Amino acid sequence: MSFTSFVWEIGNISNKSSRKRHRLRRGQAHITPEASSSSSPGSPGSLTVQIEQRQWANLPPELLLDIIQRVEQREQCWPGRRDVVTCASVCRSWREITKDIVKTPELCGFLTFPISLKQPGPRDTPIQCFIRRERATSTFRLYMGLSPGELSKLLLAAKRVRRATGTDFVISLVGDDFSRSSNKYVGKLRSNFLGTKFNIFDSQPSRDSTVCSSCESCRKTHPGKVAPRVTTSNYNTAKISYELNILRTRGPRRMQCIMNSIPVSAIEGGTAPTPTAFTNCLDEHSSPLLDSAGRRPQVGSTSRSMQNVPLVLKNKAPRWHEQLQCWCLNFKGRVTVASVKNFQLVAAVEPSENVTITEQENVILQFGKIGKDIFTMDYCYPLSAFQAFAICLSSFDTKPVCE
């Protein structure tokens, strides 16, 4: 039985208990006129809507919990996963129960709600996605799926905007709206003029309570001032740098990512920031894991703490293949075309951080080419889909002094 038929049957059961009340209003249409949005609560149109919503909201909690659990367990991938989102869209009671049942990607390994794109991926099995590049429109689309031939779910989209001093990649939840004033805006990637250094900006802070409290304190301190109109805040959550290779004697590209919002303890049993909802708190640019002076904690500092040191990622060094006469990495079949853009990221740690060799060799993000304008992207904990996508976008920018 399909999900639509299943919900229809539940609706019929609920209708039996209120059939007498509907007989008095059998002549009324269920299509609410435009004026009903401003009508009084006691008007016939609003009363009909309230009765219909009450039928779904008044289902027994045990029955409702069993329904949503069955749907969540049955639909493990897209597009079937859409039924889980539909359950959360019925009414408030359905939404609260669905949010309690659906776990984060770290625990269940699935991407369900839009906020899942800002949450860390699973620890064991990476989430496999692919990126499609559209040269004509300078857009890049991230899809959920193993290959482009399958029915895929659009996760994120980015548009490249060239500036006089660098390049911006504006990231959105949809593929046709890249405005910063839109509620679909999730962040951006900004490069310098040479394309060697990048900054990842998030539309919301990784630690909401600290930033929101500072916003409130600012409003209390300056009650007489009128706050300027700000569309969306940007929070610097990561920095990406590519080593210069002007003489082309160092082999493939070398990159390093400083994840300011993720502590290094996250790869050794710790936790990474996991937002539960999109926030609208506006504040100045901030980096959660920077000190009060805006600097990153020094390696030899005596006050060094695993919780306050940001995670640093580096590309895994490839090996030279004598027979093929090229640099090679083991992508486990996920990459099939040689490209300067291909890379694997692992944790760059120091001996004092006591990180095991296994964790140091664990590939957190890998990106590679499989066809013309088609690339795979596999990521796992502690990176989120948004962070992984932004890192991969940096590989598309022109780097004449790094190759």
Q: What is the mean predicted confidence (pLDDT) over 120-149?
A: 89
Does residue 63 form part of some domain? Answer: yes
Say whether both 135 and 81 belong to one domain: no
Does residue 111 form part of some domain? Answer: no
pLDDT > 90 in the chain, percent: 31
Question: d(Cα 369, Cα 130) in Å, to the nearest integer?
Answer: 9
Q: In this predicted structure, what is the pLDDT of residue 6? A: 55
The model's pLDDT over 262-279, given as tens digits with 9 standing for 90+, comes to 998 898 888 898 998 887
Question: d(Cα 175, Cα 379) in Å, to the nearest integer?
Answer: 22
User: Burial of 333 by CB count in 10 Å (0-12 exposed, 13-18 middle, 19+ buried)?
Assistant: exposed
For CA atoms 265, 267, 271, 275, the dihedral sign is: positive
Does residue 330 form part of some domain? Answer: yes
Does residue 27 form part of some domain? Answer: no
Say whether both 179 and 96 belong to one domain: no
Does residue 143 form part of some domain? Answer: yes
Question: d(Cα 223, Cα 234) in Å, to the nearest integer?
Answer: 24
What is the DSSP secondary-structure string of 215-239? HHHHHHH-TTSPPPP-S---EEEEE
Say whether both 59 and 200 belong to one domain: no
Say whether both 168 and 84 belong to one domain: no
Q: Which range of residues forms the domain containing residue 83?
A: 1-11+51-102
Question: d(Cα 103, Cα 115) in Å, to the nearest integer?
Answer: 12
CB proximity list for 271: less than 8 A, separation 6 or greater: 265
Say whether both 240 and 91 belong to one domain: no
Q: What is the mean predicted confidence (pLDDT) over 92-103?
A: 88
Does residue 39 form part of some domain? Answer: no
| Domain termination site, one of 37, 69, 102 | 102
Residue 170's DSSP bridge partners are 159, 188
Question: d(Cα 300, Cα 117) in Å, to the nearest integer?
Answer: 35
Number of domains composing the chain: 2
Q: In this predicted structure, what is the pLDDT of residue 14? A: 45
Say whether both 259 and 339 belong to one domain: yes
Say whether both 72 and 196 belong to one domain: no
Say whether both 81 and 163 belong to one domain: no
Are 49 and 30 within 8 A, CB to CB? no
Say whether both 91 and 143 belong to one domain: no
The model's pLDDT over 27-75, given as tens digits with 9 standing for 90+, comes to 444 333 444 444 455 555 555 555 555 667 778 888 888 988 898 888 8
| pTM of the model as a whole | 0.76
C-beta neighbour count of 347 within 10 angstroms: 22
